[in-house]
Amino acid sequence: MNNFAFTNVFTLEGEHTQPLTVRAKALVFHDPASQSLLKLIERLAPSDAPILIRGETGTGKELVAQHIHRLSGRKGPFLAVNCGAINEQLAESELFGHEAGAFTGAIKQRKGWFEAAHGGTLFLDEIGDLPLCLQVKLLRVLQEKEVTRLGARQAIPVDIRLVTATNIDLEQAVQAEQFRQDLLFRINIAQLELKPLRERKGDILPLFEYFVQRYLAKVRRSDKLQISASAIQQLLTYLWPGNIRELENIAHYAVLVTEGTLIQAEHLKFNQIFKNMEYCSAQPATHTDDEINTALSPYQIIESQLKRIYASSQSSSGDLWNTLESMIIATAYSSSFSNQVKTSELLGISRNVVRTLLKRHHLLPPSIKEIAE
């Protein structure tokens, strides 16, 4: 593996996991676009302002909402609700609660999601799927900061931080009279744009490696899997219509079918319809060096190339170490403008060792004494 640091991996494992729809189970902020998003999240999180997260399904919107809650300092719980999965007949009861006897089947009193999230954060996913009749009541709750259970006469104060998410254009929904404009103004005080995975390529390999390690542990495989150059190219150029969730499935499958220690391109089970589609008319068929450098560190690129050398006939020449040593010292010496002291500092070795290596590889002009001899 390329050994990405997983300190910035955010997962859905733990106490806040909710039964939502297809979603991302892990998120990283490795790509420059993701790092910019993280900085904005860190600026917005401490406030109580409602935040609207836009992004395709499976990009990690719930994980972003969780991270906002963690950084907010709020002591109450983080609760996540999928507005599209709520039964329309019971939606009002689900959100705002009910008293015993409020309707047929309401045997006992029940708190709604707003009351349950008191002091914490309520995440309403797919807010665009909320029926218009409930949008009116939601707007009132946000304005008055109180809820009235079904069958009750007295309002109950609630203190929640609202974070919403959508994968549709709410402005177009407003024009189509499917979403209230006044509610959009209320929930859209701050906005976060979560780009699809195909537009943040720097996150692909760290996420893939995270899921590979996760599923290696689940199937109790002790060996480590490497990713071939051809597999890396496939991962970086695929369209990722299912975003992170699809990436997880492909990593899971690769762990199951890889017999050796190297994940090859044939171990990646892509959606063939999207695999055969052209990524972009201006996009080359293979990734460029700049794209690889965005996803891999220089050490990881060197490691990958060394593995290619070891696996090829070039490594059997018997002169591999001498060749590599010559490349290292020659490049360092050139980068230091032929200054031996700076070369020793760059490589972390003594000047005497540097001079010995330079002489060994004929990188120093002969001294007068050596010429005379």
Q: What is the pLDDT of residues 138-190, one digit of tens each?
A: 999 999 999 988 888 889 999 999 999 999 899 999 998 999 999 999 999 99
The percentage of the chain sitting over the pLDDT mark of 70, rounded to a whole number, equals 83
Average pLDDT of span 324-335: 84
Higher-pLDDT residue of 34, 316: 34
Phi and psi for 194 in degrees, rounded to 5? -95, 110
Q: What is the mean pLDDT of residues 43-70?
A: 94
Looking at residues 219-235, what average pLDDT do you find?
89
Element (H, E) at 92: helix 91-96
Write the pLDDT tens digit of every residue in 81-98: 998 888 777 888 889 988
Q: What is the pLDDT of residue 232?
A: 93
2 contacts 305 by C-beta, under 8 angstroms: no
Task: Report whether pLDDT(37) > 60.
Answer: yes
More confident residue, 333 or 278: 333
Cβ(131)–Cβ(91) below 8 Å: yes
Question: Which of 131-145, 291-305, 312-326, 349-363 shows the lowest per-residue confidence on average (mean pLDDT)?
Answer: 291-305
Residue 36 burial by Cβ neighbours in a 10 Å radius (0-12, 13-18, 19+): exposed
pTM as predicted: 0.69
> Is the confidence at residue 107, as pLDDT, over 80?
no
pLDDT at res. 280? 41
Query: Assign residue 340 a region: left if phi > 0, alpha if psi is -120 to 50, beta otherwise?
Result: alpha
pLDDT at 1: 56
| Average pLDDT over every residue of 275-291 | 48
Q: How confident is the model at residue 281 (pLDDT cuts 50, 70, 90)?
A: very low
CA distance 157 to 231: 55
pLDDT score recorded for residue 332: 86
